[in-house]
Amino acid sequence: MTIRPPDDVYFNEPYLSIRWDGAHHHVYSEWRAFANSAELRTGMLKGLTAISDNRAAAYLCDARKVKVIVHVDQKWIKEIWMPQAVRAGLQRLAFVTAPTGLGRVTVEEVVELVDDHGLQSRTFDSMEAAGQWVSAGPTTR
């Protein structure tokens, strides 16, 4: 039996929050500030726990405040995180990006890595559009 955290909040740090959105049946993460490599990986592993615990097929990531994801971390996401997320049941991943800047470019690079793993992924300019798209797909496996 899976024991979910209080209020379905899996991670809550100044740079990132992750929670299960039971109303919309997806994991929701919000990047709030710059995260160094160790913080990024720790947070993303908590996201895997949320995917696994809830058999989540969908993940909505508010990445508007992402500044940069260095190439070594992009490689880790591609080689370690993505395969684990797929095995845990993830099928759709929506990113909301900043309108311009390095953060947007970085997130778009990560989306290209996602596509290598057979996940459906897209970037959006608004939370509303991202939420509608990510919720339109399957919710459980």
**pLDDT of amino acid 1:** 55
Domain map of the chain by residue range? 19-136
Q: How far apart are CA 44 and CA 114, in angstroms?
A: 14
**For 37-94, how does the pLDDT look when each residue is reduced to its tens digit (9 = 90+)?**
999 999 999 999 999 999 999 999 999 998 888 889 988 998 899 899 999 999 999 9
DSSP string, 44-98: HHHHHHHHHHHT-SEEEEE-TT-----HHHHHHIIIIIHHHHHHHT--EEEEE--
Identify which of 77, 71, 72, 75 has the alpha carbon closest to the alpha carbon of residue 48: 77
Does the domain at residues 19-136 carry the CATH identifier 3.40.50? no
